Structure 1
């Protein structure tokens, strides 16, 4: 390297191994660090410096973990060029979105980067309803869809075909399973839609360069949908500058070097997979081992997981608490000394999960915090400085505050130790959600989450005297009992203190007198034997106020979670609503069935009646609750 290059490298890689390093890092402006302008420029940098290093090692599926497909950084860049040039030929330009609708596979990784090069990537969770997928296509404006083909995910392919037949897209580019050896299936023709296999159609495209105009830092890179599977998710717009900056903040971790191998198993429609396990490793030329299409949802992965760690020398992984809870039960029959950094996020880490995993493996679970609207990661922890209860220190160049709303609608900053709503500012905060399109491209609106550059996360938190962030649940998850706000985290913490409780979730149950009363759900540790009434008593002795004591504690085999492992509080609230109504109508004649489901983000209760029932009596009882409901008279 030249002297100038070495100086640039020094600026790019400050020491970042301990909390006290933050001030020194921020003494140099971010603009002076020489970050690549775009995700494409980041890939070009990696392919130029480490052309022969394996960028990707992709497993076809968990059961075939010894049969990976590998791509060097040079080969990855060549694939991205071919795919991006095909998209360009199909008419995709800088402001055009390309939808990606597929589980992880070897072709999806370069396809995602190619979509960001030719236009804007719009990854979509294939588990969403067809109506929601259609709405996301309309909202993004995507007319080209890169979809799982019939061999990779038959259901997704069928949905894509129906959307194409309905005239929603102009081109469908199918992906094949990783390492597919058999000839591909013939794809059906749809009038007016170009259909073919992505890799086949791109085979003759130029692999040495992109024929269009490369993206700039301020250009949109991706549209990531937020939320789970209820309601139509919002589309959060990411710029290249934000993705690159956040990837650098993660890569700047001084605990890793070029030889560190990263394990990736979260779906690429989630920001963690893109930023943490795809973009960040490019900064140092690290290798990434990608799990099969089911990722952590593949039950066959867990019996082989420690063998995979040993075989590939995995140094770091990123997962949600539910994954670590399962791994803590899997016997270790291999040398896993390479594993140094197990990152956990997306939802609060129960104490029992932390302790069980660390005792089982000797590996420290390192918490982090982030959200799609701030690109991905906003806080990180330090494995040799454990601070149980905190999700970490803010990342460089991001600012965090805890505030409460005042009567005039402004925010009042709260001192250290006080709980309020967490707000974030800095280079990773998004510009808003997609609300439409005009001649200049996508129109963006913060929809009430942005104020003078600050993002209202909706999370309750406090910042301690050392600047570490502690979460206390979602503001919208507050249980409001007779006008009194109850933080569900106080109930959950009390129950998680029980040695036989592995997971806990508290929600509000409808109540005719108080509006809501707190109830809780728990998952017990393996072999635990304890009654629900004993857990009610345990919690009552430990919550900080009588009003917060849960009325009931229900034991479940597992707490409901979204597709990316976040707790599904709506699912628990729906169950609590149903249980309350079952009790309320226990003595009412003619009630055939009672259900409560989530519809567009709200709980809707349904009471089914025999034709001879007194419908007015039922409606009178339902009217006492502050819930959405309907009565169905059966024939």
Structure 2
């Protein structure tokens, strides 16, 4: 009975009502991530929990951790952190590509205090600000053997006085004496494995977390101690998940670390580069067969590449291929599914709602939908009235998508003082409801149909980019008087950042020089604009506010004009922004041209129509 309460049947949209007939409080969910791990270790001590690959070329030489061993390692690491002074409200920063030590280190940080994963690709000023907001003085990070670039960043942060302790991780499967670590005055630096070796693996010597405690901070939000996960009965206890997203991404923690603990499922972790390791794709199907992978999760660009990789192995174990984080082009779906015979299952979520809020069903497709709301979450579309209040909209009518329920975060971290972390909804939380910033409508069964973004975020391959950081970089140039950054459709990444600027009279700076200027100023390489276009004036609304839809339309028009340049018979290309989404209308003069245009347009995650000239 307990197992049924913890993991109810959820194989189709009609199961939702039956699940919610039992109040969430009566399901007996573990009260924290630590309690979840402890339960898994007690229930399946000898079952393999984590298999970590050194890299894509050595995928047959993994490191294994059983559930009992994983708990013991978490205890050792957490006891070291406790010995170093970490308590319940103290944050521990983690900055490393995936390696065998990183999963237990992350869980240990949540056990001893609060885990604060960082993207090592961010600029040092950005990282410094995140450390300050979290109040983190201890950093668990990649060493020089694992990632020389991240190690250099970590060393500089310590040298500049932002850290008291640096605990270093080694590559998966590394043997022999580690590299000597340079000293930094006033900072304790050492290898995590060595420093924790003498700690007690049997029990945590501090105070375990409770369900109301904070467990983790992520770059755009936070999650609380309770592992507020929705059950999925598409996979059984023998299922094996493939994990390749970096652990600073909330999806990696929720979907491939915590969710498998409910059923004692194993996870196979890719090497430090994850899906960015080009060698992975040549071996991927053999890896699926060898480890009997049952489920994977990736962004559309990954599936686009896999659709081009010859299927040279038995894929019968792979039952669930989840896709999310950015719009799924129709051509990517069709190419992958026809190439592999595996159905792509869309999902929707955001960091502020603990990653997962809706998911589709492979046997119950709803074309155009990203899935049904997950159990115990509430979703609706609203219209914002002039006074700022919300008006609920009926099913089928598009508005701002809002979410409430146990997965919604408590707020953004806006500071850290003597009384702990300061959390603020920053206008995104209202009466327990989260404003997602996305436009959508719902059908009567709770399926979500996205209609674009009310917010201006650029989503490059599932990575959120704030256009303000690009605009600030360009406005720092002495000859730039105005700047606007938007996403341009891209067949590989969904969209990429581009920028538009106005210049001071008499300026001689070129667009290429401005692009290089921005590349050197933005806080992360992913935000570097692909192009910078000089305009006489940036578009504005009737009341003088910046009007980015016009820039998005122009960027899309330029991209499609280039993509269709070699297609005979293209008479006109018109682009508009319809309810937040790019809509392209291409006019062709021949049946052959029409077919070629459709083939190209299907590669983009945009709406489009093709018409014939009279």
TM-score by length of 2: 0.79
Matches within 5 A, 1:394-413: 394-413=373-392
- 1:407 shift after superposition: 1.4
Q: Does 1:442 align with 2:477?
A: no
The answer to whether the Cα contact below 8 Å between 2:452 and 2:579 also exists between their aligned partners in 1 is: no
Which residue matches 2:61?
Answer: 67
Find the counterpart in structure 2 of residue 92 from structure 1: 86
Alpha-carbon offset, residue 473 of structure 1: 2.1
User: Does the 8 Å contact 2:414/2:423 carry over to 1?
Assistant: yes
Against the structure 1 CA distance between its residues 332 and 549, is the aligned structure 2 distance closer, same or farther, given a 3 Å change threshold? closer
Question: Is the contact made by 1:245 and 1:428 (CA closer than 8 Å) also made in structure 2?
Answer: yes
Q: 1:542 to 1:12 in 2, by over 3 A?
A: closer
* Cα distance in 2, alignment partners of residues 174 and 32 from structure 1: 42
For residue 507 of structure 1, report the CA deviation from its aligned partner. 8.6
- 8 Å Cα contact 1:83-1:198 kept in structure 2: yes
Deviations 1:1-20 (A, max 9, x none): xxxxxx22222222211101
Runs of 5+ unmatched residues, structure 1: 1-6, 227-235, 480-487, 560-565, 568-635
> Partner residue of 1:191?
185
**Displacement, 1:253?**
1.2
Alignment of 1:600-615 (within 5 A): none
Partner of 2:206: 212
Q: How does 1:229-378 map to 2 (within 5 A)?
A: 236-241=221-226, 244-246=227-229, 249=230, 252-378=231-357
Partner of 1:443: helix, strand, or coil?
strand
Task: Show the counterpart of 1:421.
Answer: 400
Q: For residue 608 of structure 1, what is the aligned residue in structure 2?
A: none
CA-CA distance at 1:548 after TM superposition: 6.3
Q: 2:443 aligns to what? A: 464
Mapped pair 1:124 → 2:118: yes
Structure 1 residues 534 and 28: alpha-carbon distance in aligned structure 2, compared to 1, 3 A threshold:
farther
**Deviation per CA, 1:144-192, whole angstroms, max 9, x where unpaired?**
0001001001111111111111111110000000010131011111111
Give 2:572's match in structure 1, choosing from 537, 555, 559: 537
Structure 1 residues 530 and 59: CA distance shift in structure 2, 3 A: same
Query: Partner of 2:391: helix, strand, or coil?
Result: strand
Match of 1:112 among 96, 106, 109: 106
1:543 shift after superposition:
7.5
**Distance in 2 between residues matched to 1:162 and 1:355, nearest whole Å:** 47
Is the contact made by 2:222 and 2:351 (CA closer than 8 Å) also made in structure 1? no
**Post-superposition offset of 1:535:** 6.6
What's the counterpart of residue 519 of structure 1? 554
Structure 2 CA distance for aligned equivalents of residues 42 and 399 of structure 1 = 25
Of 348, 368, 372 in structure 2, the residue corresponding to residue 393 of structure 1 is 372
In 1, the alpha carbon distance for the partners of 2:363 and 2:575 equals 35
Secondary structure (helix, strand or coil) at the match of 2:184 reads coil
Counterpart for residue 38 of structure 1: 32
Moved more, 356-365 or 469-478: 469-478
Residue 550 of structure 1, CA deviation: 7.7
Task: Measure the CA separation in 2 of the matches of 1:138 and 1:13.
Answer: 39
Q: Determine if the alignment matches structure 1 residue 138 to structure 2 residue 132.
A: yes
CA distance in 2 between counterparts of 1:10 and 1:189 reads: 53
- 8 Å contact kept, 2:370–2:448: yes
Q: CA RMSD in A?
A: 3.1
1:440 Cα offset (Å): 2.7
CA shift for structure 1 position 267? 0.3
> SS state of the match for residue 476, structure 1?
coil
**In the aligned structure 2, how far is the partner of 1:213 from the partner of 1:437?**
21
Alpha-carbon distance in 2 for matches of 1:524, 1:51:
54
Deviation sequence 1:384-422 (CA, Å, 0-9, x none): 112221100000000001011101110111111211110
Unaligned runs of 5+ in 2: 459-485, 501-534, 541-546, 588-596, 606-614
After TM superposition, give the deviation of residue 143 of structure 1 in Å.
Answer: 0.7
Relative distance call for 1:520 and 1:541 in structure 2 (3 A) is: closer
Q: Distance in 1 between matches of 2:457 and 2:96?
A: 35
Cα 1:503/1:245, change in 2 over 3 Å: closer
Structure 2 CA distance for partners of 1:284 and 1:513, relative to 1, 3 Å: closer
Equivalent-residue separation in structure 1 for 2:569 and 2:139 (angstroms)? 53
Secondary structure of 1:199's aligned partner: helix
**Residue 439 of structure 1: CA displacement?**
3.1
CA apart distance, 1:523 = 12
